[in-house]
Amino acid sequence: MTATDPALTALAQGWCSLSLLHDRIEAHIERALQAAHDLSVREYSLLDVLSRQHDGDGGHLQMKQVADAVVLSQSATTRLVTRLENRGLLERYLCPTDRRGIYTNVTPAGLALLAQARPTNDTALREALDEAAANPELAPLVQAVKALPVSPSA
């Protein structure tokens, strides 16, 4: 492929459209969560991921797994955890079987805030997708997002 190859141009345009859709959705959700709950999208995502942990095998996530789940670097995830811990929404403790490991749990206050914020997040997501569906450039991507299978863990 060359720089003027139509296939490469189409891929670049598709990627730009996908990036635009993501940015619009994230900005819409961010405004809604900030206004109603003083939460960022990343904070909400972190609370959501950590709230799904359980006591069974593989039920608690290591910081690398958490970072991957919220699409942040480990250092950015650690700073985010610290910020939410300072707000009383998360707590850290040593892994009982490996004293080098540190786990993070959502506190009752964090679970309550997450429960309050979840409908706001869901409504903002639907609104952003509906708005994007009206844009002919983004409509096929919205259709693809809506057609994705739901993961059983979600």
Is 74 part of any domain? yes
Query: Looking at the domain assignment, is residue 14 inside a domain?
Result: yes
Residue at 105: amino acid letter:
N
Within-domain flag for 4: no
Q: Taking a C-beta distance cutoff of 8 angstroms, is the pair 31, 66 a contact?
A: no
Q: Is 16 among the domain residues?
A: yes
Which pLDDT value is given to residue 20?
A: 94
The confidence score (pLDDT) of residue 62 equals: 82
The DSSP secondary-structure symbol of 87 reads: T
The mean per-residue pLDDT over the stretch 48-56 comes to 87
Is residue 5 in some structural domain? no
* Residue 60 belongs to a domain: yes
Spatial separation of the C-alpha atoms in residues 106 and 67, rounded to whole Å: 16
The reported pLDDT for the residue numbered 10 is: 84
**What is the count of structural domains for the chain?**
1
**pLDDT attached to residue 148:** 92
The model's pLDDT over 105-144, given as tens digits with 9 standing for 90+, comes to 999 999 999 999 999 999 999 999 999 999 999 999 999 9
For the stretch 2-48, pLDDT in tens is: 567 777 788 888 899 999 999 999 999 999 999 999 999 999 999 99
Q: Answer whether residue 152 is part of any domain.
A: no
Residue 29: count of CB within 10 angstroms of its CB: 23
Q: Is residue 123 part of a domain?
A: yes
pLDDT for res 143: 95
Domain of 91, in residue numbers: 10-143
Which CATH number fits the domain that encloses residue 71? 1.10.10.10
